[in-house]
Amino acid sequence: MLVRDFTTVILFGMTHRVGPKGQVVIPKEMRDRLGIAPGMDVVFTETPDGVLVRPATGLASLRGALAGAGLTAELLAGKAEDAEREHGRA
């Protein structure tokens, strides 16, 4: 129990300086435990106690989900129809 409390104090007691661009390094031990790797997206959530940083799970899996659905072509066709109607009224 004492070791666990000591670990908690160390992990939550780490201090890091904010860089000139507002960047902060997530300690390696935390990145490893949370599965955060270089190039991954993270979500920042403001809480009453500060800022929560967590992996953006689920968001990356949606990328490209609608690829090939023809939505761009449908949008362009709709715009062309709108333009034709407007041109016919002028």
Contacts of 27 (CB under 8 A, 6+ apart): 11, 14, 16
pLDDT in the model for residue 75: 86
Q: Is the pLDDT of residue 26 over 60?
A: yes
pTM for this one? 0.46
pLDDT in the model for residue 13: 62
Tell me the mean pLDDT in the region 4-30.
74
Q: Is the pLDDT of residue 82 over 80?
A: yes
Q: 43 φ, ψ to 5°?
A: -110, 135
Tell me the mean pLDDT in the region 69-89.
85
* Span 38-55, pLDDT tens digits: 988 888 899 999 988 888
> Looking at per-residue confidence, does 40 or 7 come out higher?
40
Nearest alpha-carbon partner for 42 in 14, 65, 23, 70:
23
DSSP designation for 69: S
